[in-house]
Amino acid sequence: MPLSPLTPAQLRRVCDPASLGFDTTASLAVAPDIIGQPRGTRAIEFGIDIESPGYNIFVLGEEGTGRTTAIGRFLRQRAATRLTPQDWVYVNNFAEPHRPRALNLPAGRGTALRDDMTALVSYLRRSLPQAFEQEAYTQARNKIQDQLSAEGEARFSALQSRAAAVNIAPVRVPDGWSLVPLRNGEPMAPAAYGALPEAERKTLETDRRAVEHELQDTLRQIRELEKATADSLRALDKQVAASVMDHQIDELKAKYGAHVETAAYLDEVRGDLLDHVSDFLPAASDKSLPPDFRRYGVNVVIDHSRTAGAPVIVELNPTFSKLMGRIEHEARMGALVTDFTLIKTGSLHAANGGYLVLRARDVYGDSQAW
């Protein structure tokens, strides 16, 4: 069949816009599959339906053919029908700070816990100083200290009386205590002591050793009293602090108590707060280092509070840190340090419970990534 030449008018198709049935393409529905790729569409659907671990979908095609767009559309449609994964947060491990604790919570509860812990610390920074300024606390503290003072004075007074009966007096000196011999109730000069008969000096020396032993025993008892008083004061501080914070902690446990690990964490928070009550008091500002309230923070690393269904993550720069996350550092006192608040997650964490889309060439281009 001979070829016929075409005119310029025959080289293009003329279409009447009125015959299309729409004003702009914005009003058109997105095609449910890949145009002209029925087998590819079925393969993608089959792959998405596989729930077992270890399976991936590998899509081949020319650059610019819409592979990423198409697979993203399929995944978002399927993701909308799936359950939203849980949030993940890192919190302080008070027993082992170098091993932070990871907690998983229902979607949206991670940021809620973070905000609640921030509010708790703010509340305690306001309320604890007020509680320790109450007259009842001052009276209870003075009572404990007065009791120590009275018991200590009574024991030392008894020692002084027994020592005076054998003409010896305990005297405080810069490096401790000294036992001084007495004559008519007054300390003897060294010369006067040396002039005593040998038998009298031996008697005084025997009595001095006995008094020295009793002095050491009395000082030990006073130290035990001081330790008991310090313990009583700490117990009083904890009692006052507990009266302020327990209601707040109980409310948080009621809110998050369905999650055993979170409830256990809140119990640990309470214990640590009671051990660090002084950090919340005005005297804490006089310390060389400011109190570290960040220890009670919550690092929300995966937040699904605004996620509907399963996440679909398209990672266009799949480096090792982008995929696996990283641990950042900051300079403190001339050294680089880190803690649980500086943990940053990667795309693998963000896509957990959903789908992760990578370009194989980009992954292959970073040896650490694969």
Q: Which residues contact 91 (CB under 8 A, 6 or more apart)?
A: 100, 101, 103, 265, 297, 298, 299, 340
3-state secondary structure of 356: strand
Phi, psi of 52 (to 5 degrees): -70, 150
For residue 317, give the amino acid letter: N
For residue 360, give the amino acid letter: A
Count of other CB atoms within 10 angstroms of residue 294 = 12
3-state secondary structure of 295: helix
Place of tokens 């559309």: 73
Tens digit of pLDDT at every position of the chain (370 positions): 688 888 888 888 888 888 888 888 888 777 666 667 788 888 888 888 888 888 888 888 787 777 888 888 889 988 999 999 999 999 999 999 999 999 999 999 999 999 999 999 999 999 999 999 999 999 999 999 998 889 888 888 888 888 887 877 887 878 888 787 777 777 777 777 677 777 877 887 788 788 888 888 888 988 899 999 999 999 999 999 999 999 999 999 999 988 899 999 999 999 999 999 999 988 755 566 678 899 999 999 999 999 999 999 999 999 999 999 999 999 888 899 999 999 999 999 999 999 999 988 888 888 888 7
Place of tokens 């500086």: 342
Side-chain-side CA neighbours of 214 within 13 Å: the count stands at: 21
With vertex at residue 203, the alpha carbon angle to CA 201 and CA 207, rounded to the nearest 5 degrees, is: 115
3-state secondary structure of 16: coil
pLDDT of residue 64: 76
pLDDT of residue 170: 81
pLDDT of residue 284: 53
pLDDT of residue 98: 93
Side-chain-side CA neighbours of 10 within 13 Å: the count stands at: 4
pLDDT of residue 366: 83
Strands 176-183 and 168-173: antiparallel
Are 304 and 310 spatial neighbours (Cβ–Cβ below 8 Å)?
no
pLDDT of residue 239: 94
Handedness of CA 48, 50, 51, 56 (dihedral sign): negative
pLDDT of residue 104: 95
Are 170 and 163 spatial neighbours (Cβ–Cβ below 8 Å)?
yes
